[in-house]
Amino acid sequence: MAFVAPTAEELALYLDLTEINGDRAELLITKAISLAQTVVKPLPEGADAVVLSVAGRAYVNPQQVSYETIGPMSVQRPSGSGGLYLTKADKTALKSLAGRGGAFTVDPTPATADPSPTYPVDDDYGPPGDYEPGWGWV
């Protein structure tokens, strides 16, 4: 199954919002998809979770506010918690979903390789005669 782009309604559900600005949500989802495609193209199945995460961060905190006080309430967000960007975890998840995140082995041996020696075998090479215990090679 191929990647299916999330909708504005799915973003609203992801953010637990009863109402959402559909045009803004669609724009952020489209931009989040474009950003994700800089890491993996085409996007794999399951990448919608990363796209929703990226679009959700930008929807909730578009100005990248890190500290806000309104009356007696104050909120401090981590630095870089807004705007449209991919975290290291987002990039890792995209690569993993595409099957490119783990270690691998490359075998350079051709399929037609023969296990016999390729060098010339010299029958006269080596110690002469037979080996006798206690006397050595005779």
Please report, for the chain, the start and end positions of each structural domain, with discontinuous segments joined by +. Answer: 8-97
For the segment 23-78, what is each residue's pLDDT rounded down to a tens digit? 999 999 999 999 999 998 899 898 999 999 999 888 887 766 666 678 887 777 66
Both tokens of residue 15? 């953010």
* Res 34: pLDDT: 92
Closest Cα to residue 53, out of 1, 26, 15, 27?
15
73 by DSSP, 3-state: which? strand
Report the alpha-carbon distance of residue 21 to residue 90 in Å, rounded.
25
pTM for this structure?
0.62
Report the alpha-carbon distance of residue 61 to residue 96 in Å, rounded.
27
Closest Cα to residue 50, out of 94, 19, 102, 105?
94
Q: What's the gap between Cα 103 and its chain centre? A: 12
* 74 DSSP β-pair partners: 69
Asked whether 36 and 43 are in contact (CB, 8 A), the reply is yes
For the segment 35-45, what is each residue's pLDDT rounded down to a tens digit? 999 998 899 89
Report the alpha-carbon distance of residue 106 to residue 82 in Å, rounded.
41
